[in-house]
């Protein structure tokens, strides 16, 4: 657990405002799994706040807020540019998939009973106050599907004397590791906070990937299992061999990129600008979303933004400069034959969201 109080200027409160939230609520036809209401005191479901077409009835959700329910906007990073950049920054830093939820709670509101998450949670308080009561850990490193919301075996922690209660004010940040039970309640005024949830890449994921590779091999494990009492197959079993030397970094990157939503800033403008590059054009790597340069054998692959771009080995030095995060001139890209090759590489990076015009 880590509690980082707001600085003197409470800069974190500018990440997302009530005006931003109001703008999100104005979006038409939001599905019920994106915008919904929850309340620890009663069970609420889509039938309580959805229209006949399956979209959320925003006014009904706000009525439920007035009755004590918390309004949740799930995966808000897909709808707000600032949260998009923030969430992708978490993914780049931690090399793990992340998403951002918004919680708008009324005074004294409580969305869930005491529970633990199977994800690491980074909560940023934006408006009002919320008290997080943290209980003793009862689950060591739960897997991503092993959330617990007051189920059997959790009652002891739910009723335990709380070891720590932390009240967050505007700009405060709290990190709650997966598996730590907690209870969250708003204070005497409405509360708005962001939760960035991060799914860590674990040894369990590595094991699963190795088992999948093992099971994909040809062998006798593909034979049907005979019914009880049938004669055993006399054919000798073909041994299976585990993959040699699993590349942990590659597995981690593949798992992350498979889950990161793809969005390129102003793609029409990027493609048009890519066609007009000159040797004097100044660019810089776009580090908004995570991407990785895979150096496999005698070829290079740039993975990210839903793309797998292949490059010849002689492009390695140019890619190292272009992706370094330092502004560069297209004409200064090293290792390539001529300016046409430099413009081609830089234009490919720009059109696919890996580079942008330098400020």
Write down the pLDDT at residue 153: 44
Q: How far is CA 321 from CA 345, 346, 350, 355, in A?
A: 12, 11, 14, 11
**Which comes out higher in pLDDT, residue 146 or 29?**
29
Given a contact cutoff of 8 angstroms between Cβ atoms, the answer to whether 315 and 309 are in contact is no
pLDDT of residue 321 exceeding 50, the answer is yes
Same domain? 136 vs 20: yes
Structural domain that includes position 153: 2-198
Same domain? 58 vs 155: yes
Both tokens assigned to 332: 């200064």
Given a contact cutoff of 8 angstroms between Cβ atoms, the answer to whether 168 and 10 are in contact is no
Q: Which residues contact 257 (CB under 8 A, 6 or more apart)?
A: 290, 291, 292, 303, 304
Pick the last residue of a domain from 198, 213, 239.
Answer: 198
Within a domain: 109: yes
H/E element, 344: helix 339-351
What CATH code is carried by the domain that includes residue 104? Answer: 2.60.120.650
* Average pLDDT over every residue of 226-242: 60
pLDDT tens for 120-135 read 999 999 999 999 999 8
Same domain? 166 vs 285: no
Please give the tally of structural domains in the chain. 2
Pick the last residue of a domain from 152, 167, 198.
Answer: 198
Same domain? 75 vs 175: yes
Residues facing residue 98 across a β-bridge: 198
Q: CA–CA separation, 305 vs 355, rounded Å?
A: 12
Pick the last residue of a domain from 179, 198, 217.
Answer: 198
Within a domain: 349: yes
* pTM (2 d.p.): 0.80
pLDDT tens for 91-108 read 999 989 999 999 999 999
Same domain? 288 vs 189: no
Write down the pLDDT at residue 44: 95
pLDDT of residue 77 exceeding 60, the answer is yes
What CATH code is carried by the domain that includes residue 318? Answer: 3.90.930.40
Query: How confident is residue 233, by pLDDT bands cut at 50, 70 and 90?
Result: low
């Amino acid at each position: 657990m880590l509690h980082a109080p707001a600085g003197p200027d409470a800069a974190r409160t500018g990440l997302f405002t009530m005006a931003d939230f109001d703008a999100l609520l104005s979006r038409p036809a939001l599905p019920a799994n994106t915008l919904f209401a929850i309340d620890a005191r009663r069970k609420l479901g889509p039938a309580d706040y959805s229209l006949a077409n399956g979209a959320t009835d925003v006014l009904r959700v706000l009525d439920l807020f007035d009755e004590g329910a918390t309004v949740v906007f799930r995966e808000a990073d897909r709808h707000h540019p600032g949260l998009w950049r923030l969430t992708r920054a978490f993914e780049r830093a931690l090399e793990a998939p992340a998403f951002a939820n918004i919680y708008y709670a009324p005074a004294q509101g409580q969305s869930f009973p005491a529970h633990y998450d199977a994800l690491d949670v980074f909560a940023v308080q934006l408006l009002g106050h919320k008290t997080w009561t943290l209980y003793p850990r009862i689950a060591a490193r739960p897997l991503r599907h092993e959330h617990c919301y007051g189920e059997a075996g959790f009652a002891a922690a739910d009723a335990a004397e709380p070891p720590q209660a932390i009240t967050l004010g505007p700009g405060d940040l709290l990190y709650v590791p997966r598996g730590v039970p907690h209870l969250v309640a708003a204070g005497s005024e409405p509360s708005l906070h962001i939760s960035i949830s991060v799914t860590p890449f674990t040894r369990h994921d590595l094991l699963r990937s190795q088992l999948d590779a093992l099971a994909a091999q040809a062998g006798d494990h593909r034979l049907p299992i005979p019914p009880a009492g049938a004669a055993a197959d006399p054919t000798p079993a073909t041994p299976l061999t585990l993959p040699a030397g699993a590349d942990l970094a590659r597995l981690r990157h593949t798992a992350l990129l498979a889950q990161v939503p793809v969005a390129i800033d102003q793609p029409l403008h990027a493609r048009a600008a890519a066609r007009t590059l000159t040797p004097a054009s100044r660019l810089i790597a776009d580090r908004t979303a995570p991407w990785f340069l895979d150096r496999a054998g005698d070829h290079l692959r740039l993975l990210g933004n839903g793309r797998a771009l292949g490059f010849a080995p002689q492009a390695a030095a140019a890619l190292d400069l272009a992706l370094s995060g330092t502004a560069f001139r297209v004409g200064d890209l090293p290792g390539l034959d001529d300016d046409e090759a430099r413009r081609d590489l830089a234009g490919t990076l720009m059109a696919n969201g890996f580079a942008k015009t330098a400020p």
